[in-house]
Each structure stands twice: as C-alpha cells, then as structure tokens.
Chains A and B, each alone.
Chain A
Amino acid sequence: MECYSEQTCALAVDGELATDEAQRLRDHLTTCQRCRALVEALRAENRVLSESLNELPEEAASPAGFSPLRWSWGWGDLAILVAVLTLGSIISGWFNELDIPAALEWFNPFSVSGRTNLIFHFFYYFAHGGTAMLADYAAVVGWICLLMLLGGSALLLGRRGRPHYPGLRLLIVLLALSSPSFALERRHGDFITVAANETVDDTLLAAANTVRVDGVVNGDLLTFGRTVEVRGVVRGDLISFAQRTEVRGTVEGHIYTVSHTLDLEGQLGHSIYGVLQSLHIDDRGRVGDGIVAAVGDVSLEGEVKRSVDILTSGSADVSGSIGRDLTMVGRSLTLTNTARVGGNLSARVRQLKEVHIADGATIGGKRDIQLRVRENHFRRPRFYFHQAVWLAGAILVGWLGMLLFPGFFQATTQLVGSGWRSLGLGVGVLAGMPVAMVVIAITLVGLPLSLMLLALYFAAIYLAKIWVGAFLGRILLKPSGATKGDWLLGLLVGLLILTVVGFIPYLGGLVRLGVVCLGLGAFAWQLYEASRPVMTA
C-alpha cells in the first residue's frame, strides 16, 4: 500500500483526520515502519511546540501592571480627581489671598479678570472670528495633531528595537521634511529689530525680549516677547503674545493678541481680537474693522470703523468714535463729550451709577443699558426645580437610550472606563469635529451631511454626561448585575455626583469639560467598534 503524505500524517496527529481515513492510516501504520516513524516524529514535534508555547516567556510569567484594578481603573482615577479638586480648591483660595501685582493679574486664572479673560477669550474668538479665524483654528488643531503624532511616534519608535512601522517612519520623515517648507522666517534673541530699510518677505516668527519692527514685514508677524513694537508696516496679521504690544506704524491685517497691554497709535487694517489687561486706542489710532476683546480696562480715543464688543472686568472709557455698535459687559462705562457711537449702545453693568454718558456724546442708535444682577442661584427654589427637571430629563434620555440601544449604551458606558484613551479621543473629537464640519460644509453636497454631523455632535455632547454618569454610578455601586435597572440607578447616582461637583467654583467647569470629553471619546470609540463585526467567542 502506498505511504501517506506528511501532511496527512500531520492531520492525523492533530486529530483532524476524518474517522474512516484515520482508521485506514492506523491500519497502515501497523505495517509501515517509515510512516510509523514519521507519525512519531510529528507527534514529538507537536509536543515540543505545545511545551515551548505553554512555558510562557519570562515577561508573561510576571505580567507586571496586571491587577484587577487595571480593569476597574475607576478608583485610582477617582482618587486622583478628588485630590486634584481638593488641591485646586485649596490653591484657588490661596491664590485669592495672595497680593498679586496688577501687572500679572491678567495671567491669574483665579482672579476675576484672569478668569473672564480665559473663559471669554475662546467664546469671542469663535463667535466673532469668521472664516479666517476658523482657518487659524484649523491650523492650530492641525499643528497640535502633528505634534501629538510626532511625539507619539517618537515614543512608539523609542520603545521598539525593530522598525515595525516602516510606513509610519516614512510619514514622520515626510512631515519633518515638509515643515520647513512653510514660508517662515524665524528669529530669536534678546533684541530683534527689522530695520527701517529692511523688508521681510515671509512670515516672521520672532521670539525676543524686545521685538521692534521699523521696516516692512510682508507676511504675518508672530511674536513672543516682553515688548513688541510695530513702527513700520506689517502687511499680514500681527499675532502677539507679549507683555506690551505697541503699534505706532501700520498693521494691514488683524491683530490677535494675548498681552498685558495693547496700545494702538497707528493704523490697523482690520480687527483686534484679544485677551488683554489694558487696551488703549490712541486718538491717532484707527481700527479698520472692529474690536472683540476681553479686557481689564479699555480706553478708546481713536477711531473704530465698525463695532466694538468688549467684555471688561474694569472700566470702558470712550472718547473717540465707533462706526457701528458698542456692546459692553463690565463694571463701568464712560462716554465723554467727544464720543460717537454710530449704531446702538448696549451695556450691562452692575450699577447704573457706573454709567456716565456725557451730554455731548453722540449715539446713533438705541441705548440699552441693563443691570447685571448676580443673585446667588442656590437660594432660588427655581434653581432646584431646574436641576430636578434637568436630572429627570437626563434619566429619561438614558432610559430611552437603554431601551432602544441597550448594547450600545452599555458598551459606551463601559468604554468610559478606558480612561485616558477616551479622554484624549474626546478632546480630539470635541476640537476636531467643528473643523471637519466646516470642511465638509464647504462643498454643496456636504452641507446636509455637515448638518447631520452637527446634530450628532450636540447630541453626543449631551449624552456624554449620561455615559460618564452611568459609569461613575457603576463603579461606585458595584452592582451585582448588569440589568437596565442597575444601569439606571448607577446613572442617577453618577449624575447626582456630577451635578454637585459641577457647582464647585472654578473646577466644576473643568470637571464638566472632562465629562464631555470622556463621554465623547467613549462614544466615538464605540461608534468605531460598532462599525466592525461583533466579536463572538
């Protein structure tokens, strides 16, 4: 009889041969020495393979970092959260006690001006920015992503001896090569000047103690310095992070600034967007568009062609002219005899006596002066009613979600537990989605898609706290089952905690942001998971 092939013998040894064929092979083995030897060898081979594999490598013998806590990370991170909150509360109190020099006040996130600056900067930045700002925003997000990618890749590569990801390496090299291709001239030193007879054709990035431009910059001027003085011409935008920014010459684009003071004595083609302690438009100063700023104190003596939107923690003094509306929220407002507002004047102040409008001041449109009443909302029964309605609404939504998409909701809740991954992803989604939506909306076909994404985005932001709340409740209650009832009870407890924590001054906002990011991240991840085939055992 003909001998069996090695593969057939291997199948037999693995117990994978059909019964009748296996019987025939066994019969054959009784007579064939060669095949018997082969089967024996294959059997021994299998044994060696099993033994070798089952004797786990060293690293598996001590799976460091593995403890049951790893998969219920909640307690550790919760402890960190509590510690941060406590520390934050202590520090914020301590900060408030400190006698911080006025010059640094704008930088203190716990002071009124610092806080309003920080919070409202972003709001105004987006609310009034228009497309140019979005482009900037996209660029910033792009750079952050690029940096994260580079950092992450560096980490990855650092941890591996062998180049496992040739594609990734190539990408890094390409990115590294592509960045210098930006038309950017970089200068740094103690004192940087662009001399009166000098012209910089590119965008100039200058980091110095003092940056002075007497000549011409044809691109944008991006500066980091203590003092930034523009006496010459900047044809693009001026983006400045400085203690003092002074424009005596001409900036043809916009001014974006985070500075202690901004003095404009020259010409500005477009708008000012800024977070500042003090903004001063000299009587020689002229702003081609408008001003959107969160400012400590503001004094407008020159001319602003369009509207001025100001959030101020101090006073706003206007003696120059504003082409359109003046909108301000702040402590006090003064319009002198020479002041002129082409459009409406709307002001929100704490006390009416803080508003001084001289008789000679001209206001083209309506005057709308309102009192900002700040009542402690904890004392109003309505507040608790609202909270209860909010909570009930969230529970209802959670219950509906659980009813309609039980698997999705439970899995997303579970994914909140992947902690940093969800958080990181959430930050990315929160920041990246608006950009993506704008990009999609630019094409006509993409507009409906973009609107749908927008709806999904807001829905996910709302649902984020439900998932995080349910997760929090679950790790706190450690329910014995995973029924809908347990999930909902967990949700109630979690949401109650989140609501209370959300009212902690300063840090509550941070917690809320964190919750949104965590939930969004978990949601995005679950969407991704759900788009793949379900795993079965």
Chain B
Amino acid sequence: MDAKRNMAKEPQPREGGTRQMEGMDLESLTECARGHDGEALGEIYRRYVRRVFGLCRYILESRESAEDATSEVFLKLQRSIESYDRSIPFPRWLLRVAGNQCIDALRRRQRGRRAIVEVEDGAAVIEAPSSEPSPLSAVISKEERAKVRDAIARLPDNYRVPLVLRYYSELSYDEIAQQLNLERNYVAALIFRAKQELRRRLPHRSK
C-alpha cells in the first residue's frame, strides 16, 4: 500500500521539515492546493490523513469524534488553504489547524469555555527534585509503548491535550499556549505535571 507507506514515512514537522518527503513535491503540492486543485488536495489528504487522525484520536475521546474532526479539518483545509503562508512547514501548519479543531470539539463537548484546561491549585511551578529513574526514560518495547499511549489516553484532558500537542504535534509552548488560550507558564506546568502523572501511573520497570 503506497499510501500507507507514505503516511508512515511522513516527516516529523519539527525535525526534518520536508526533507524526507521529497521537499519540492510538497511545496508544489501545497502551491497547487492553494489554487484549489482537487487532485492536490486529494494527495494532501492521502498523505496526512493518518497523522491528522492520530492527533484527533489522541485528543478526542472516541473514534467517531476523531473521524468527524478529521473530516472537518480537511473540509476546512479546502476552503482555507489560501491562508497557509509558508512561514512554517505545511505539516506543522496542518497539525495546528487540526489541534484547533480538536480543542474546539472538546470545548463544545464540555460546554464551558474554560473547562478544558483548568489548572488546579494555581498551577504553581512544582519543584519535584527527583533523580530516580523514570519508567519513561528507558528504551522500551512495542508493548510498553502501547502502555504509554494507553496511560496518556487516560490522562485528564488538561494534561493530555498539551502533552499531545507538544510531543505529537511538536508545537512549542508558545503555540500551545496560544491554542489553549493560556499563559505559557501554565502550559509548562501542565506538561510537567502530565509527565509526573504518567510516571506515577506507569509501573516502574523492575531491574
């Protein structure tokens, strides 16, 4: 399956930009797409649907809502691709759009606008001087990675969403703060806490 392979090799927006992905191609692809070329849009869809769906799936609680959000993202892409200004790599831009879509969906579900990321007890910076080995820090097997994903999925929204945006979408703290409408410091605290919570939930590896 060509498409699948493509998706699997799809670049990490942060690290390589478009290098692995026949850089020229993506550029001309987005250029065509900006002209509302249906085929170019289709190709973009084919290449990125899995990545976008992954993000939606991590943020939203059900497969159905993730599918809906993914469809919405690509629908929006059709009409707003002109607003992509090439200042950042396209995959990253797309994931930002997708992140917004998911956060919106999450908010809609929780009605209250502030419901998503509520930092309890003031979100003071927590000092947790710990040098004990984290269950997260070892090289881990496929099964263990699945366990990590599972643990992430069980995190409360306010930990999970920034964590996923950081380590899946590879957004900066500032970008996450902008998306969640929060202070950058809060985002940092949330991500930090999310990791602590994960360590607590994941069993320590016996030596």
Contact = CB atoms under 8 A, between A and B. Distances in A.
Nearest to A61: B50
Interface in B11-49: 12, 35-38, 42, 45-46, 49
Nearest to A40: B137
A11 B188 contact: yes
B54 A60 contact: yes
Contact of B128 (A6, A66, A411, A417): A6
Interface string A18-47: 000000000000000010011001101110
A498 B159 CA distance: 50
Contacts of B138: 44, 48
A414 B71 CA distance: 12
B8 to A, nearest CB: 8
B70 interface: yes
Contact of A44 (B101, B137, B168): B137
Q: Main SS of chain B's interface residues?
A: helix
**Interface core residue of A63, A71, A417, A537 (most chain B CB under 10 Å):** A537
A55 interface: yes
Contacts of A41: 131, 133-134, 137
A45 B104 contact: no
A479 interface: yes
A56 interface: yes
**Interface core residue of A50, A417, A481, A532 (most chain B CB under 10 Å):** A50
A480 B37 contact: yes
Question: Chain B interface: which size bin?
Answer: 35 or more
B37 A537 contact: no
Given A56-B50, A414-B75, A537 B104 contact: no
Contacts, number: 154
A7 B137 contact: no
A49 interface: yes
Contacts of B142: 55
B74 A71 contact: yes
A160 interface: yes
A464 to B, nearest CB: 20
Interface in B120-173: 125-131, 133-134, 136-140, 142, 145-146, 148-149, 152, 163-164, 166-168, 170, 172-173
Interface string A388-418: 0000000000000000000000110010010
A159 interface: yes
Contacts of B78: 71, 414, 482
B148 A49 contact: yes
Interface in A34-87: 34, 37-38, 41-42, 44-46, 48-57, 59-61, 63, 65-66, 68, 70-71
A48 B149 contact: no
Contacts of A479: 36
A34 B130 CA distance: 10
A63 B145 contact: no
A53 B168 CA distance: 6
Interface in A314-357: none
11 contacts: A7-B192, A15-B172, A38-B131, A44-B134, A44-B139, A48-B140, A52-B145, A63-B70, A66-B70, A164-B61, A410-B79
Given A45-B134, A45-B136, A61-B4, 4 more contacts: A48-B145, A60-B57, A481-B35, A536-B100
Q: Which 8 A-B pairs have the closest CB atoms?
A: A52-B148, A44-B137, A45-B136, A52-B145, A53-B168, A49-B167, A41-B137, A56-B54
